[in-house]
Amino acid sequence: MRTTTAASLLLSALSATVDATRPFLNEPEIAQADQYGELEPGFQLPPLDKIIGIPDFDYVARGFLNISSYTSYRAGAGGEWSYRNNLEVYSRMHFRPRMMIDVNNIEASMPTTILGYNFSAPFFIAPAAIAGYANATGEVGLTKGSAAKNLMYINAQFSTRSQADIQAARAPGQIMFHQLYVNKNITKTEELVRRAEANNYQALFVTVDSPGDANRQRAARFGVGSADNSFTAMTWDDYQAIRNLTKLPVILKGIQTVEDAVIAANLGAPAIYLSNHGGRQLDGSPSPFEVALEIHEQAPWVFDALEVFADGGVRYGSDVIKMLALGVKAVGMGRAFMYANVYGEEGVKRAIDIMKREIYMDAANLGVADLKQINSSFLNIKKFETAPWGL
């Protein structure tokens, strides 16, 4: 009996060690291979009604697209630790579900006001370059899909479709924002701002997390590295200069520390966007979720001083809910919608519907009656720092 007990304890200890030290997952795997089988480039896409979750779009895109196109979206920096951490960090933050709560009106709390504009949900299509690798409609599919569901969409500077095509695809009155980089030539930067104004974008998201070229080894193997290297590091003086160029709100995309969040708030920024560029710039950079937690713990007043957006590895409704619980106003999804866009506009709409449904279900099971009232009491923050990976 004693030997058996000792052996059991040893096996349990070994099992715990393996669980705690196992490698990161590259992508979530939830029996997609069992349903779709092995897919090859150019195969017939599975029917959209067979797409169950956001990871399914990744699985389909990985099989359908040629390796260069898929790698353009998938690649991270260096050994891709930050890419994987973005995906898995949510598993370390456990929920604290509350029971006996009336959750019948959750859907009514889904609409979200972002920068003064009303959208149908607290998540959005994050800017991602070259949407045309997934589908010939490119950004047109993203524009039409977001319009149909009244979802916030930030159009990327490096688009495959022309601005004329994108503007023609906009629905009457559709609110859209635009992402851009600061050019080494201030005159060219001003030209980009004026072009965005002329195209009736309602806000500018300026990327600040790419002051240097990225060490994207996976991308380099297939010739799909950074889109452009004519852009430069942005300083706080540059930020003020750009704000002086336009009446549009200028949001800094790529904040990665509480210190920079505080500086932005003290400068009167209307909003900040927490992002590590999808883990594509600096391997070892923190996940945006961890940055949101850092702000929550060290400078919670920032969430009241300005609107905070964040992206990074979001694949489930529960990921969005965890971000919202920390104080994030709206949560971005980049790669997820690039993969959904393999199906064009209809894929984008399907992805939006999936996320809305998951947020509703998960919020109900968590005991959140109103998404706008969610707070960190629904999260086990104390356990986060010591939680083993993958649990």
For residue 255, what are the β-bridge partners?
Answer: 274
In a domain, 66, yes or no: no
277 is in an annotated binding site: yes
Q: With bands split at pLDDT 50, 70 and 90, how would you rate the model's confidence at 28?
A: low
Residue 288 phi, psi dihedral angles, 5° rounding: -60, -30
**pLDDT tens, residue by residue, 95-109:** 999 999 999 999 999
pLDDT for the residue numbered 343: 98
**pLDDT tens, residue by residue, 68-81:** 999 989 988 899 99
Please state the domain count of the chain: 1
**pLDDT tens, residue by residue, 84-94:** 999 999 999 99
- Residue 168: closest CA among 148, 144, 151, 149: 144
334 is in an annotated binding site: yes
In a domain, 89, yes or no: no
CATH number of the domain encompassing residue 364:
3.20.20.70
Angle 126-131-133 from CA coordinates, rounded to 5°: 145
CA gap 162, 176 in Å, rounded: 15
pLDDT for the residue numbered 176: 99
pLDDT, the chain, mean: 90
94, 178, 277, 296: the catalytic one is: 277
Q: With bands split at pLDDT 50, 70 and 90, how would you rate the model's confidence at 36?
A: confident
pLDDT for the residue numbered 357: 99
**pLDDT tens, residue by residue, 263-306:** 999 999 999 999 999 999 999 999 999 999 999 999 999 999 99
Q: With bands split at pLDDT 50, 70 and 90, how would you rate the model's confidence at 18?
A: very low
Segment 364-389 mean pLDDT? 92
In a domain, 64, yes or no: no
322 is in an annotated binding site: no
In a domain, 301, yes or no: yes
In a domain, 270, yes or no: yes
314 is in an annotated binding site: yes
- 277 included as an active-site residue: yes
pLDDT for the residue numbered 17: 38
113: Cβ–Cβ under 8 A, 6 or more apart, which residues? 119
181 is in an annotated binding site: yes
207 is in an annotated binding site: yes
Least confident of 40-44, 128-132, 273-277: 40-44
Higher pLDDT, 382 or 210: 382
Question: Per-residue pLDDT for 346 more than 70?
Answer: yes
In a domain, 41, yes or no: no
For residue 342, give its domain range.
107-384
- Residue 296: closest CA among 264, 324, 330, 268: 324
129 is in an annotated binding site: yes
CA gap 61, 71 in Å, rounded: 10
In a domain, 318, yes or no: yes
Question: Per-residue pLDDT for 172 more than 60?
Answer: yes
In a domain, 12, yes or no: no
Question: Per-residue pLDDT for 391 more than 80?
Answer: no
Segment 326-352 mean pLDDT? 99
What is the separation, in whole angstroms, between the first and last Cα of the chain? 31
311 is in an annotated binding site: yes
179 is in an annotated binding site: yes
353 is in an annotated binding site: no
Higher pLDDT, 227 or 172: 172
**pLDDT tens, residue by residue, 240-268:** 999 999 999 999 999 999 999 999 999 99
Segment 213-237 mean pLDDT? 77
